[in-house]
Copies of this chain bind each other. A is one copy, B any other.
Amino acid sequence: MSTMLRRWLVGEPLPTAAAGEQKLPKYLALPVFASDALSSTAYGPEEVLLALAAAGALALGYSVGIVIAISVLIAIVTFSYRQTVYAYPSGGGSYIVAKDNLGVLPGLFAASALLIDYVLTVAVSIAAGVAAILSAYPALLEARVGICLAVLALVVMANLRGVRESGLAFALPTYLFIASFTVMIVVGAVRAFAGLPPVVHPAPLHPEGPLAAVSIFLILRAFASGCSSMTGLETVSNGVPVFRPPESRNAAITMVTIGGTLIFLIMGLTLLARHFGVNPDLTLRETVASRVAEAVAGRSWIYYAVQWTTMLVLVIAANSAFAGFPRLAAVLGGDGFAPRQLRNLGDRLVFANGILLLGILAGVLLVIFRGETTRLIPLYAVGVFLSFTLSQAGMVRRWFRLRTRGWQVAAVVNGIGAITTGLVLVVIVVAKFIHGAWAVVVLIPLLVLAFRKVHAHYDALSRQLTLAGYTPRRVLRHQALVLVGGVHRGVVEALIYARAIDPDCEAVFVEIDPAETPALRTKWAEWGQGVPLTVVPSPWRSLTGPLIQYIATVRQERGLDMVTVVIPEFATTRWWHRLLHNQSGLVLKWRLMFQRNVVVTNVRYWVK
């Protein structure tokens, strides 16, 4: 039953031999790695406006300056990471770069930040994608969380089936997204230069008056919120080996293209929003991108193209986290910092455990934050910027260590990257601390602690399991004890089994009601298969207590290394039959599980 369900959901299993990487041309690699970064256009500029709106409509003018600052930051990070791409042709995720150059602990911090961020990428991307659709179809607003979870479930299932990220199906949405936004920006720019009014006049800001004064803190908070646009910028550095040769060069070109496109999109959207006077919707019913598209082109095909391609690219972005998270979790599992089963390849050659874990965590976030992007944003950028900083600081360290040709310039580029992203990290944590960033600040070190605990356990385990210096014993002094509660076929079969594994086995009867013993002895004489029977009295009617006591006595008196307790058991075909039999066997098994040098063996007798 469960197997059939799994086959239907996930598909037939694939043989291990089917694994293998595919090399990608740039035009396919770009969409694979770009979706995460570019899709953040859908929420980054909006978050800047939402934060500024607290100081009223006039404060929205600051958004242009803030987005320019973010664009500069994007350029810095892009060029900094460009160097990582060259330095780590086999893939240089933050965890690897930080671990390699700064040590294990910073590596774990980077890993912790990345894992948290993958979860948030999924939650934020799905929430923002659904928001785009809800803007176009407000009738669906009530079902926001439900739609989010349905989309999440689809993405999880597709990943368990093992989607090929590199397919055209994945490339197309990203290109369509770039195209539809470009059309919108160009049309909007033309209308702006022609001095035409917006097609649909934007809704006023509601409430109109300022709730807070424009302060440095407010500006910083808007900036911090906008930095969510920079998530996903580093993905190329993880996947250099996927590019066609020359891998690093192609990856670097792709990296810079992504950075440039991202700047174009967020600047374009922000300038149009300012030009047409678009305000953010504080009730979160409509996105800024939806309002800008409406102002530029009304509810035309351009509008719907923008909404649907936004949704699609965000789903693809969420999907990219489903590649990244399980891969990083598997690497951590391989290094002994996370449970080893995260390395297991599922039926379809994917890290199924990691995929499920990510799906569950993102689902919980979507439910808690009711599928609203803006509630999730304060948690988001902390992890990204911590991993940026660690990765680039690691690169600086690397240049100082290797001192290859031109290392000074490279170190300066990465140094600027590390310092600026480090500063931004501080800004983000401070500006959004009470809004939710504190949770991530607390969680990252806790996760690091967990990694270390896990590692310590695996370490201790391998030390205890090592064969070096181990001398196995020659002979195992062993005896089988059969627990009997009566004499019937099931018991006789268990006796025959016990005699097969130990010709000197013994039967034990725990005497709860002494009145039953004489009848048992009589039957034993005929059916006991010659196995000696010991009656252990139990004046308090406990089965386990006297048995455990007796086992201990036997082990000591006979100098046994190991005792096997054979328990005859009924196996029935109907579940409710189990309720009709004494479950004392279960209690007994549980208690014996904590006894060392005792092996419990159930011999089942099948009942029709």
Interfacial residues, chain A to chain B (CB-CB below 8 A): 13-17, 339-341, 344-347, 454, 457-458, 460-462, 464-467, 470, 472-473, 476, 478, 480, 487-490, 492-493, 496-497, 499-502, 512-514, 523, 526-527, 529, 539-542, 562, 564, 570-571, 577, 579-583, 593, 596, 599-608
Q: Which residues of B contact A457 (CB under 8 A)?
A: 577, 580
CA distance A464 to B607 in the complex (A): 7
Are A539 and B489 within 8 A (Cβ)? no
Residues of chain B lying within 8 A (CB to CB) of residue A601: 564, 599-601
* Bound-complex Cα distance A316 to B262 (A): 78
Q: A466-B488, A467-B488 are in contact. List 7 more A-B contacts (CB 8 A).
A: A341-B582, A457-B577, A465-B490, A467-B526, A472-B496, A593-B604, A599-B604
The distance from the CB of A460 to the nearest CB of chain B, in whole angstroms, is 7
Hey, which chain B residues are within 8 Å of A490, CB to CB? 465
Most buried by B among A466, A467, A523, A527: A467
When distances are taken between beta carbons in the complex, the residues of chain B under 8 Å from A470 are: 489, 492
Determine how many copies of this chain the complex contains: 2
Residues from chain B with Cβ under 8 Å of A607 in the complex: 460-461, 464-465
Taking a contact as CB atoms under 8 Å apart, the answer to whether A540 and B467 are in contact is no
B581→A16 contact, CB < 8 A: no
State which of B345, B465, B539 has its C-beta within 8 Å of the C-beta of A488. Answer: B465
Q: Which B residues are CB-close (under 8 A) to A496?
A: 472-473, 476
Residue of B nearest to A583 (CB): B341
Contact A478 B497 (CB under 8 A): yes
Tell me the complex Cα distance, A343–B476, Å.
41
- In contact, A512 and B16 (Cβ under 8 angstroms): yes
Residue contacts A-B, CB under 8 angstroms, 8 given: A16-B512, A458-B580, A460-B608, A464-B607, A464-B608, A497-B562, A501-B564, A601-B601
Enumerate chain B residues within 8 angstroms of A493, measured Cβ to Cβ.
Answer: 472
A562 touches B339 (CB 8 A): no
A571 to chain B: which residues have CB within 8 Å? 593, 596
Task: Name A's interface SS.
Answer: mixed
Interface centre among A512, A527, A562 (most CB of B within 10 A): A562
In the bound assembly, the distance between CA atoms of A225 and B466 in angstroms comes to 77
A500 touches B529 (CB 8 A): no
Q: Are A539 and B476 in contact (CB under 8 A)?
A: no
Q: Roughly how many angstroms separate A100 CA and B325 CA in the complex, as a whole number?
A: 71
Is B476 a contact partner of A489 (Cβ separation < 8 A)? no
A475 to B487, CA, bound (A): 20
Given contacts A13-B542, A478-B500, contact A467 B487 (CB under 8 A): yes
A340 engages B461 (CB within 8 Å): no
Give the distance in Å from the alpha carbon of A39 to the alpha carbon of B116 in the complex.
63
Residues of B within 8 A of A465 (CB): 488-490, 605, 607
In contact, B461 and A529 (Cβ under 8 angstroms): no
Chain B residues near A605 (CB, 8 Å)?
A: 465
A540 to chain B: closest residue by CB: B13
Given known contacts A465-B489, A601-B601, A603-B599, A580 and B339 CB-to-CB distance under 8 angstroms = yes
Give the shortest distance, in Å, between A73 (CB) and chain B (any CB). Answer: 40
A107 CB to closest chain B CB (Å) equals 20
The smallest beta-carbon distance between A438 and chain B, in angstroms, is 26
Cα-based distance from A596 to B472 in the complex (angstroms): 33
A501: B residues at CB distance < 8 A: 478, 480, 501-502, 564
A541 touches B497 (CB 8 A): no
A492 contacts B476, C-beta separation under 8 Å: no
Known: A500-B562, A580-B457, A599-B601. A529 touches B472 (CB 8 A): yes
Q: What is the chain B residue whose CB lies nearest that of A511?
A: B16
Contact A606:B599 (CB < 8 A) given known A489-B465, A564-B501: no
Interfacial chain B residues near A606, Cβ < 8 Å: 596
Inter-chain CA distance A603–B598, complex, in Å, is 8
Residue in B15, B16, B476, B502 whose CB lies within 8 Å of A513: B16
Contact A570 B347 (CB under 8 A): no
Other-chain residue from B13, B14, B582 in contact with A344 (beta carbon distance below 8 A): B582
Task: For the complex, give the distance between the alpha carbons of A540 and B478 in Å.
Answer: 38
B460 touches A489 (CB 8 A): no
Given contacts A497-B476, A577-B457, contact A540 B488 (CB under 8 A): no
What are the residues of chain B within 8 A of A464 when measuring CB–CB?
489, 607-608
| Minimum CB distance partner of A349 in chain B | B541
Question: Most chain-B Cβ atoms within 10 A of its Cβ — which of A488, A513, A523?
Answer: A488
Q: Give Cα A462 to B562, complex, Å.
A: 34
Query: Which residues of B sit under 8 angstroms from A539, Cβ to Cβ?
Result: 15-17
CB < 8 Å neighbour of A497 from B341, B492, B599:
B599
Q: Which one, B462, B476, B540, B602, contacts A500 given CB within 8 A?
A: B476
Q: Is the CB of A579 within 8 A of B500?
A: no
Docked CA distance A476–B603 (Å): 13
User: How distant is the Cα of A472 from the Cα of B528 in the complex, in angstroms?
Assistant: 11
Given that A464-B489, A465-B490, A478-B501 are contacting pairs, would A14 and B599 also be in contact in the complex, using a CB cutoff of 8 Å?
A: no
Contacts of A345 in B (CB 8 A): 541
CA distance A14 to B341 in the complex (A): 48
The distance in angstroms between the C-alpha atoms of A361 and B334, with both chains bound, is: 51
Determine which residue in A13, A461, A514, A596 has the highest number of CB atoms from chain B within 10 A of its CB, and name it.
A461
**Which chain B positions have C-beta within 8 A of A562?**
497, 500
What is the minimal beta-carbon distance from A476 to any residue of chain B, in angstroms? 4
| Chain B proximity of A499: nearest CB distance (Å) | 8
What 7 A-B pairs are tightest by C-beta distance, nearest first?
A465-B488, A501-B501, A476-B500, A15-B539, A13-B540, A478-B500, A601-B601
A467 x B492 contact (CB < 8 A): yes
A478 to B493, CA, bound (A): 13
